Chains A and B, each alone.
Chain A
Amino acid sequence: MSVHARAAVPAPILLIEDEPSVTAFLRAALERRGYSVEGAASGAEGLERLNNGHYTGVISDIRMPGSVNGAEVHAWIQRNKPELSARIILISGDTANSDTQALLAQSGTPCIEKPFRVQQLLTVVERTFGKP
């Protein structure tokens, strides 16, 4: 719940997700609640947008094809956008994965397990990014 975020013109949430149907559902759910959403279809695109734009927070899938996955997006933000380091939500199809477990335990980053109910999503988003 950043004062800064509320004061400024609301910046969009960057949604990094390779699966179009999931992106569509997330966009619909978040926009219906009043969040603005900007999508990136891969980790690499996500990093490019992060480098050039300004975002309220980042929601990123962990497991994505291509050269950059969710864990790397997370690490990049820690290094290059420290102001966003506490404004990341990860979504995962497999939290039992030992790498994922380690990342979550170490950073304390919130994570939502797929599949999830809309209410579960909104609770975590509001807690992390604040209300729109």
Chain B
Amino acid sequence: MSQSNMSRTTAKTSPARPRPRGVKAFPRPAGQDASELMELAVDAAQSRHLPEFLERFASRAARMLDAAWGGVAVFRGRETDLYQANRAGITLEIAHLSTLIRLARESRREIEVVPTASETALSEVPASESSSISFVPIIASDHEPLGSLCLIRNNKALNDVERRVLQALASHAALSLENFRRFSQLERSKRQWVEDIDAISDYIVVHDRTWRIVRTNRSLASHLGVPPVALVGEAMSSLRQIAEAGTELPCPFCRDTQQSREEYVVTSPERIYLVSTSRTPGLSDDDTRTIHVLKDITDRREAERRYRELFDSIQEGLFFATPDGRFLDVNDAMVRMLGYGSREELLRADVGPHLYPMPTARESFLRALAKRGVLRNYEETLRRKDGTLLHTLQNITAVRDATGKIAQIRGLMLDVTEQKMFQSQLQRERDFNQKILNTTQSMILVLDTAGLISYANRRCFESGYREDELIGHHLVDWVEPSHRESFEAALETTAQGHQVENLEPRVRRSDGSMGHFSISLSPMRDEQNVVNSVVVVMTDITDATMLQAKLAHSEKMATIGRLVSGVAHEVNNPLAAILGFTDLLLENPAIPDNAREDLQIILHETQRTKDIVQDLLSFARQRPVQRELVQVNAVLRQTIKLRSYDFASHGVEVTEDFDENLAPALGDAQQLQQVFLNILNNAYDAVQEAGQRGSITIRTQREGDQIEVAVTDNGTGVSDPERIFDPFFTTKQAAKGTGLGLSICYGIVRAHGGEIVCGNNENGPGCTFRVRIPVASETAAASIAKEAGR
């Protein structure tokens, strides 16, 4: 059917034979109306093609009513199709047809007769001058106007019979049009249905009881690369290539044929399908139609699988939980982190009491979440199943319901326990290193590659150096000039990556004095293993050097002591024989006088030897020091008194410069007196030898926890102060001493835990002996006082 509209009317016309104008058409024998109407009914029932039917209808109506022209206008929405009678007496122009259509649409519900002369547009219609047009409305059963039957007749009024015939024709036309319309609607919807089914991307296949394919949609057929119709009648088993449910049935998609509805997943190596199966009775009683809809869920499954895989393989803990403290889902990492045996076990846990060491922490977490909805980098300490603590960093999102209440909590959790521990360990280590740097007795400096000091530890400043004279300055500037070259060479060696140890240069101290330092240099490297600075560890070993010398000295003295002791014993035996026999000889009256004089000399010299051996033994002996409180000043005064006659008679001036508040020492007064006497004797001998007016100054003072006795004379001084305490080292004339006096003093002072040193005076002649012995501690003093009082 072609479309037409009011403005651009095209009329469906059958090729009409040209007819001469004014010719009367369709002469109609009377009484034929009934049979015509009967035939019309048959025609209507048999016609499958509407246009042809309507053309025949128009012809029949024109014939029955003796019209020159007949047509049927059919309304289709705003459009109108016009079907003309096959054999008409006149031929109408397009303009005429348009007018006709307009008039037909305007026509009422009743039959209308319009004279052609009244319409200008139709005045040209080649009919008789008095011709008219009859419009018979075709009305559907629901009163909808379906169209209009138009007949052009010579101006003949319609009689009642004609009106009834027209009414009957219109009724027939309405019925037929309605039927045709329904039929075409059905056809259309059927076709549309097929198109719709074909448009579905899911695979649809329908099979009957005999497992034969009744229908498939286009998606399924094109998946197999064939037209849909090619599959009809094939066995369902031919679709096995798509996928299989894994049953013994001939249909790869059927599972339980007793079920009217089923849904399940079937898989092929490549794809996964969700199969929805429906079973309905077929057209005949013994038939059942089975409809399978296969939805390809491979991608969805893949997405789900990937999601699950990600969910479970991710190292961060993931969870979904309810606000009242139940997990809805957790991933493996979460289970592992919290130390649970399985996902199920954790899902059973009550989050509040089981995971939170403190209930208040859970409450404040929920409050914060309710307030903000999202928590970023939220730090929380949780409890593992075994009770140990887990430090976590969480990112939480609250999912709210329609009322705004939190319905679900979703979160990601990081285990930062190690970082926490690492962090605190790092902090501890840093503190530890800082403490070492700050409390070590060594000075630690860091030099850059140019040798400039960039760091100095606290010890450096405690030693008196100022920050502004160290930082940014060359360390080498502090080194004694004669040592600089070797020090710089050592720095160079270190810069090349080698450690240098035990350098012992002399370095200027903060007070300007030079000290003996032990220095080690270590290279410090950056990330690229390039030496970028040098760590310098410096220790002032001036005292240590002296201590070492002292130790060596005392070792030597001890060895000498043992040697002397042995010698003294061996000498005593022959000496006893010599002395004894000399005595016996002298008792003999027969010995002449001159021999007697010689014997006296032997006796004298033997006595002297005996004295020497006695001194040697007292030097070597290790008699324990008596522990008593000793007032050093008093001991000194007694000692001076012993020699005061000699001092006075030889003009030696003795000056006492005593600290009268001197604390007592702990020791042996008798032994100390021996020491002081020895020193005084030495001083006396020295000033006598010097031959000028002798002067001896004795000074006592407290130095820390020691008492120092300094005996200064203006005598000859000593040639070798270091060796003066060695046995038999004497500067005195032969036979004046045994050479052991000061060695004995040395032994005594050492036994008191003190020291004795000797040095020539810097400002003038003579020398000074210094004896230092420890002050009696208060507890020692108290305990001795108590013992004495008992």
A residues apposed to B, CB below 8 Å: 19, 21-22, 24-26, 28-29, 32, 63, 93-94, 96-98, 114-119, 121
Contact = CB atoms under 8 A, between A and B. Distances in A.
Contact of B621 (A96, A118, A119): A96
Interface in B608-659: 610, 617-618, 621-624
Contacts of A63: 569
B580 interface: yes
Contact of B577 (A24, A32, A96): A24
Given A19-B573, A25-B584, A29-B584, A96 B618 contact: yes
A88 to B, nearest CB: 19
Given A28-B584, A93-B568, A96-B617, A114 B622 contact: no
5 contacts: A21-B573, A21-B574, A21-B577, A97-B621, A115-B578
Main secondary structure of the interface of A (DSSP, over half): helix
Nearest to B570: A93
A116 B623 contact: no
A28 B574 CA distance: 16
Contacts of A32: 584, 587
B103 interface: no
Most chain B CB within 10 A, of A29, A114, A121, is at A114
Contacts of B618: 96
Given A25-B577, A98-B622, A115 B572 contact: yes
B580 A26 contact: yes
Given A19-B577, A21-B577, A114 B584 contact: no
B575 A114 contact: yes
Given A25-B581, A93-B568, A94-B565, A115 B575 contact: yes
B610 A115 contact: yes
B350 interface: no
A93 B579 contact: no
Interface in B535-581: 565, 568-569, 572-581
Interface of B: 565, 568-569, 572-581, 583-584, 587, 606, 610, 617-618, 621-624
A118 B622 contact: no
Most chain A CB within 10 A, of B576, B578, B579, B581, is at B576
A115 B584 contact: no
Contacts of A116: 576, 579-580
Contact of B569 (A29, A94, A98): A94
A32 B621 CA distance: 36
B524 to A, nearest CB: 58
Given A26-B580, A29-B584, A118-B584, 13 more contacts: A19-B573, A21-B574, A22-B576, A28-B581, A29-B583, A93-B568, A93-B572, A93-B576, A94-B565, A94-B568, A96-B618, A114-B575, A117-B580
Nearest to B579: A115
Nearest to A17: B573
B571 to A, nearest CB: 8
A93 B573 contact: yes
Contacts of A118: 580, 583-584, 587
A114 B609 CA distance: 12
A98 B624 CA distance: 9
Nearest to B623: A96
A116 B577 CA distance: 9
B572 A25 contact: no
A36 to B, nearest CB: 18
Contacts of B568: 93-94
Nearest to A24: B577
Nearest to A61: B573
B645 to A, nearest CB: 30
A114 B574 CA distance: 9
A95 to B, nearest CB: 9
Nearest to A121: B580
B573 A114 contact: yes
A19 to B, nearest CB: 4
A33 B785 CA distance: 53
Nearest to A92: B572
Nearest to B569: A93
A30 B110 CA distance: 194
A28 B618 CA distance: 31
Nearest to A25: B580
Contacts of A96: 617-618, 621, 623
Nearest to B622: A98
A34 to B, nearest CB: 14
B575 to A, nearest CB: 4
A26 B610 CA distance: 18
